[in-house]
């Protein structure tokens, strides 16, 4: 068998999301139709255009959120927490949970053959990092004196502040905590990051450069500054619309005729990807197999995203890599943003290439987690295959006639494989095909 023929399987999963801090909690929400979207608590909403979101309300950054580390690992994580912003903490926690789930924490392994691959958004610094320095430069009349900043302001800024926000830090922390000496890379492709990270990890394993890749993504749209950006740039759901009726949990409505936009969220997901030989040698439980992946970026001349073409390219590429036809896809886990144009164009791409396939979308339960969305969504579909139960799209009461999809509106069968789709507002699309291991 050549290296390029190596089969790559999933041997562990972990997630932190508005649906809880465990796979079990996530599935409990999905299987009972319980939304993780509510009124925002962690950011001031007085001057925002929305007051709802999917927050990781069960995550407080305590060591208990990071699984069950031994004494040394617990000490190292605690020590490093002060150098992690919330997005990085959530990503590291999901990684540790996935490593535990795969039986790799403290296990005997060749560290040079275990790597990390992590996707993220661009991570924004908290304004509080500069508050002490700014205070030093404010005059008695309340005006900021720029001439004081170099000598009086900057010395008050924590010297290591930047380490809290670098997008390569989730992979770095996980590698250091667990002595993972294999390939390490970080991607910043917004919502497309998760599937691209999976594809990159698969190619690394197939090349033989690593046997195991900790593959994840973390993201957020809930942040004192980022939320301002989102409010200015994105089409956001209105909980006071006729369809939602003031209920935050009913605001996110992918493919519904009365949808009004996306809901902000935060979270992270991680998969442990491993060569089949490695997994079988150590007796790991195999949760699924990665068989295809693809990505594409397409923007129209006027500078707007061409969602349909980008998603069509990603779907076609992933099917070509997997060597499968449309009728073999059990279901589609759609990007399902609940944006008016994005949903329509995604629907067109799915119908043209995959026909009447069943379509679900976990964003209806948790909102848009940014870079973390795709990984949490893929994990939820893997669990759905294990449970033989595909969860419905929440709040899709009447499918938009312009979205001619077979939207899952009640529990059904997930099939033996699925394609996971994501796309950014800039037209960067990605896809992964995962099947039941046989």
Q: Is the pLDDT confidence value at 2 over 80?
A: no
Q: Within 10 A of 103 (CB to CB), how many other CB atoms are there?
A: 15
CA distance linking residue 147 with residue 134, whole number of Å: 12
Mean pLDDT (the chain) is 95
Whether 381 contacts 360, CB under 8 Å: yes
Structure tokens belonging to residue 276: 């089949």
For residue range 280-299, list pLDDT tens digits in order.
999 999 999 999 999 999 99
- DSSP letter (8 states) at residue 294: E
User: Tokens in use for 88?
Assistant: 């990085």
For residues 132-148, average pLDDT: 92
Domain ranges of the chain: 7-124+165-435, 127-162
As a dihedral over the C-alpha atoms of residue 323, residue 325, residue 328, residue 329, rounded to 10 degrees, the angle is 90
Helix H or strand E segment including 376: helix 373-387
| Nearest of 21, 16, 32, 54 to residue 391 by alpha carbon | 32
Q: What is the pLDDT of residue 1?
A: 34
The whole-model pTM stands at 0.96
* All residues at 6 or more sequence positions from 349 whose CB lies less than 8 Å from its CB, including other chains: 307, 308, 309, 311, 312, 315
CA angle 385, 12, 184 (to 5 degrees): 125
Return phi, psi of residue 321, to 5°: -60, -40
Mean pLDDT of 365-393: 98
Instruction: Name the pLDDT band for 136 (thresholds 50, 70, 90).
Output: very high
Contacts of 71 (CB under 8 A, 6+ apart): none
**Residue 375 near residue 430, CB atoms below 8 Å:** no
SS3 of residue 109 by DSSP: coil
**What is the CATH number assigned to the segment(s) 7-124+165-435?**
3.40.47.10
For residue 392, give both structure tokens: 């419905």
On the question of pLDDT at 338 being above 70, the answer is: yes
Reduce the DSSP state of residue 184 to 3 states and report it: strand
Can you list the alpha helix ranges (DSSP code H) found in 137-290? 169-178, 193-207, 226-233, 276-281
- Under the banding of pLDDT at 50, 70 and 90, the label for residue 237 is very high
């Amino acid at each position: 068998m050549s290296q390029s023929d190596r089969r790559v399987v999933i041997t562990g999963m972990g997630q932190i999301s508005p649906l809880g801090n465990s796979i079990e909690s996530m599935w409990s929400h999905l299987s009972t139709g319980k939304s993780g979207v509510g009124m925002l608590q962690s950011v001031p909403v007085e001057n925002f255009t929305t007051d709802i979101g999917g927050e990781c309300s069960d995550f407080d950054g305590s060591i208990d959120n990071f699984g069950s580390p031994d004494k040394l690992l617990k000490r190292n994580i605690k020590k490093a927490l002060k150098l992690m912003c919330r997005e990085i903490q959530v990503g590291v926690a999901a990684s540790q949970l996935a490593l535990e789930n795969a039986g790799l924490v403290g296990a005997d392994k060749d560290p040079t053959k275990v790597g990390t691959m992590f996707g993220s958004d661009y991570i924004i610094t908290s304004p509080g990092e500069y508050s002490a320095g700014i205070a030093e430069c404010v005059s008695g009349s309340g005006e900021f004196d720029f001439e004081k900043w170099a000598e009086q302001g900057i010395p008050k800024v924590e010297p290591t502040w930047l380490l809290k926000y670098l997008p390569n830090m989730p992979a770095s922390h996980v590698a250091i905590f667990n002595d993972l000496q294999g390939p390490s890379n970080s991607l910043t492709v917004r919502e497309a990051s998760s599937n691209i990270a999976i594809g990159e990890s698969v190619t690394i394993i197939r090349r033989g450069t690593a046997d195991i890749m900790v593959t994840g993504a973390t993201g957020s749209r809930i942040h004192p500054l980022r939320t301002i950006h989102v409010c200015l740039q994105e089409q956001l759901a209105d909980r006071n619309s006729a369809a939602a009726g003031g209920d935050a949990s009913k605001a996110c409505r992918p493919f519904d005729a009365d949808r009004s936009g996306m809901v902000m969220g935060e979270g992270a997901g991680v998969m442990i990807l491993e060569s089949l030989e490695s997994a079988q040698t150590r007796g790991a439980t195999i949760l699924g197999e990665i068989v295809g992946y693809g990505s594409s970026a397409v923007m129209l001349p006027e500078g707007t995203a061409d969602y349909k073409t980008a998603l069509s390219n990603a779907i076609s590429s992933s099917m070509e890599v997997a060597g499968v036809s449309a009728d073999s896809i059990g279901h589609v886990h759609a990007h399902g943003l609940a944006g008016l144009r994005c949903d329509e164009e995604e629907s067109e791409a799915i119908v043209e290439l995959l026909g009447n396939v069943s379509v679900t979308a976990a964003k209806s339960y948790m909102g848009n987690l940014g870079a973390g969305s795709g990984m949490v969504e893929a994990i939820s579909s893997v669990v759905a295959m294990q449970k033989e139960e595909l969860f419905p799209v929440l709040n899709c009461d009447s499918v938009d006639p312009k979205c001619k999809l077979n939207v899952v509106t009640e529990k059904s069968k997930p099939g033996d494989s699925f394609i996971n789709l994501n796309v950014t507002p800039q037209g960067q699309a990605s896809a992964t095909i995962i099947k039941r291991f046989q």
